Structure 1
């Protein structure tokens, strides 16, 4: 079993998750976060993933995983089934962002989301010089990107407010380092914890 450290954004999520909690990871990939949480915090975990190879990797790690498309919702889970629901680097590629945020807090008490911050100064600069942004957190060209929604830190907080939710914690990163001064300008990746108002 791998003992490599978690990506910085996943480590921030892991820091917020309490020992022995129940965790649902949406778009869980190969199960890296869930495997770490099970090993270090003894959490009870479920993953949802659309990619078959990633589902196989999860099963090989002993992770409970469901092969499903998040766009169809989370109807397989009852209200309040989880303490934490995670959506890491996936929200910007979803068609129904409002729907998935509502579903996260229907099935869980606390939501944890990571997303590229489009307000990051390098993104702004690339647009100013007439190019679509390409960066560490937005690594695709305009013609092959899976990303269909771009937002800033302020945009995301505004959406939470519209949905009757509130930001209960945020860490903004750039190249793995936490940014505390002018985070919407200097941070390329946001990690947000949120709950119902």
Structure 2
């Protein structure tokens, strides 16, 4: 699982062997394939991009084309051990509704997202006056799929307001884990494991 993106690697290390998972916004299925092959998981996926769906299916994965904003309502309650939403929250039209479905469908939910309060983002806005374009946020303001610029502190407040339980949280700067202290400023990405 070492060749996975850093946030996916954290998720893969914390999914129990043999679990049933639904990976929403699964991309080309890299996480699903790792969980199937190395942890014996029954992995299913939902992906909006047809090219990614084709790539995942070519890996022998059970992936359907769909939109998290509209298609999660058809999944039954508690039908998976884990529902996973990696780097997709900020692209959802109604992220609060998507998160409600995530925690309805899965007994637990992993959520990972880029932190838009990271110091490099702040500097880019303060000194350059422009939305940042970085290795981790490569799109320009007009072609980005990111429509909700969530920060770690925003997400923590959201969870607190909803009374959701955080079972685990991990913060990444580049590919290295960083402490929770000042994560809103120092971490580029966050991963949360949630439960109702």
Structure 2 length normalisation: TM-score? 0.94
CA-CA distance at 1:112 after TM superposition: 0.5
State the 4+ residue runs in structure 1 displaced beyond 6 angstroms. none
2:10 to 1, 9, 12: 12
Structure 2 equivalent of residue 111 of structure 1: 109
Structure 2 equivalent of residue 179 of structure 1: 178
The unaligned stretches of length 5 or more in structure 1 are none
CA distance in 1 between counterparts of 2:165 and 2:71 reads: 21
Structure 2 equivalent of residue 67 of structure 1: 65
Q: Superposition RMSD on alpha carbons, in Å?
A: 1.4
Per-residue Cα deviation, 1:137-178 (whole angstroms, up to 9, x for no partner): 221111111111112111001112223312221111111001
Structure 2 equivalent of residue 120 of structure 1: 118
CA distance in 1 between counterparts of 2:86 and 2:182 reads: 23
CA-CA distance at 1:56 after TM superposition: 1.2
Q: Structure 1 residues 85, 127: closer, same or farther in 2, change over 3 A?
A: same
Q: Does 1:91 align with 2:89?
A: yes
CA distance in 2 between counterparts of 1:133 and 1:90 reads: 19
The unaligned stretches of length 5 or more in structure 2 are none
CA distance in 2 between counterparts of 1:46 and 1:24 reads: 5
Contact 2:2 2:9 in 1 (8 A): no
Moved more, 94-103 or 133-142: 133-142
CA distance in 1 between counterparts of 2:85 and 2:144 reads: 18
Structure 1 equivalent of residue 160 of structure 2: 161
Alignment: residue pair count: 194
CA distance in 2 between counterparts of 1:154 and 1:94 reads: 19
Per-residue Cα deviation, 1:23-73 (whole angstroms, up to 9, x for no partner): 000011111000000011000111001111111111111111111111104
Structure 1 length normalisation: TM-score? 0.94
Moved more, 29-38 or 66-75: 66-75
CA distance in 2 between counterparts of 1:4 and 1:185 reads: 27
Moved more, 112-121 or 67-76: 67-76
CA distance in 2 between counterparts of 1:143 and 1:53 reads: 22
Structure 2 equivalent of residue 195 of structure 1: 195
Q: Structure 1 residues 136, 166: closer, same or farther in 2, change over 3 A?
A: farther
User: For 1:119, what is the secondary structure of its paired residue?
Assistant: coil
CA-CA distance at 1:4 after TM superposition: 6.7
Structure 2 equivalent of residue 54 of structure 1: 52
CA distance in 2 between counterparts of 1:82 and 1:164 reads: 21
